[in-house]
Structure 1
Amino acid sequence: MKEFIKNWGIFFLLLALFIILRIFVIAPVSVNGHSMDPTLADGQKLMTYQLSKIDRFDIVTTKEPDDLDKLAVKRVIGLPGDRVQMQDDELLVNGKKLDEPYLTAYKQQFSKDKMQSTYAYNPAFQEIANNAETFTSDFVYEVPEGKYFVLGDNRLISKDSRSFGFVNRSMIEGEVGFRYWPLSEVSLVND
């Protein structure tokens, strides 16, 4: 028995540590759809950290309030108690204008051709973009305590808090930290 523990003890200890980390700390997820384009693409594989403190602009995985079986990847825009406003494609949180540099490429594409070349793969998306006045339509929300306001980066087609409502903290499963697939795009995500 001593020989077995000596030879295999470290292996089983590492295996137990990995299982504990997998259950309580990290979780793999897949991006499903185009709501986070161009930041994250359909089919990419991500690693989330379940114990992270959630801050504004973090990309998180969350259950959708109107379909708790569905896990979505979204960006946190509004924290509990915030007043979140979009006016003429500019984000204001509690009256202060905040930059969203991750939207620059798509906003430029919208200005150029209303996303027609970007959305060439989907005529329904082209129609939505063609009928839009701005990349992100105007809105105002007061975020209740204990809840978060999340948006996809591809604002024209994203199903997010504008349609399914605020997200409870308990619905947020983790902060996206790492993209591990495809291998050519391995990188940190929330840096």
Structure 2
Amino acid sequence: MEQSKRKKNEIWEWIKAFLIAIGLAIIIRQFFFAPIIVDGFSMKPTLEDHDRMIVNKFSYKFGSPERFDIIVFQAPEGRDYIKRVIGLPGDRIEYKNDVLYINGKPYDEPYLEEFKKAELSGPLTFSFTLEDVIGRETVPEGHVFVMGDNRRFSKDSRHIGAVPFDKILGKTSFVFWPFEDIGFVK
């Protein structure tokens, strides 16, 4: 009788441990970290199609996106996009002769050097002003202007407009698969 009781207690302890583990996994994935798979080539050369990454959902709970962060956000059609933050609220954005200007000052984009060195016919990023693409002179308050690193083949703020903060799911900078690409990206 006592051995049967001990066996039931042991089974119950295993069930409790299993339920606690499942509950913690759900909480961690929902509020802190989640995996995401890169779908497409819009972030080449920084990220490759099918790279698997970790999204830090906690990163912007107490802070705001910073220029050049790689973020995951919910796009208007309901899909999750991975893009780079180019403009912050109040910024004036312009591309001229393949150079990024923010508030009139030129910025280097070292993550684009590999593509810029390639034999391209024409610029990697075609010239535009923020007013040309979103109809405003500055990035609206509570929004960011994002672009993919593969500028010629990226559906980004030039097409979908500025991204509201409340649509940002988190920041991502760690590739965990494929094995040979494990590490942080910038």
- TM-score when scaled to structure 2? 0.82
2:172 corresponds to which of 176, 185, 190: 176
Q: CA deviation at 1:12?
A: 4.6
Alignment of 1:33-48 (within 5 A): 33-48=40-55
Deviation readout 1:75-95 (Å, 9 max, x if unpaired):
000011111111111111112
Q: CA deviation at 1:5?
A: 7.0
Alignment of 1:24-173 (within 5 A): 24-53=31-60, 54-65=65-76, 67=77, 69-109=78-118, 113-114=119-120, 130=121, 133-141=122-130, 142-173=138-169
The 1:104–1:8 alpha-carbon spacing in structure 2 relative to 1, beyond 3 Å, is same
Deviation readout 1:26-55 (Å, 9 max, x if unpaired):
111111111100100011111101121311
Report the Cα distance in structure 1 between the residues aligned to 2:117 and 2:83, rounded to whole angstroms: 21
Report the Cα distance in structure 1 between the residues aligned to 2:73 and 2:15, rounded to whole angstroms: 39
Unaligned runs of 5+ in 2: 1-7, 131-137
> Which has the larger Rg?
2
Report the Cα distance in structure 2 between the residues aligned to 1:84 and 1:91, rounded to whole angstroms: 7
2:79 partner SS: strand
1:92 partner SS: strand
- TM-score when scaled to structure 1? 0.80
Aligned-residue CA RMSD (Å): 1.9
Number of residue pairs aligned between Structure 1 and Structure 2: 168
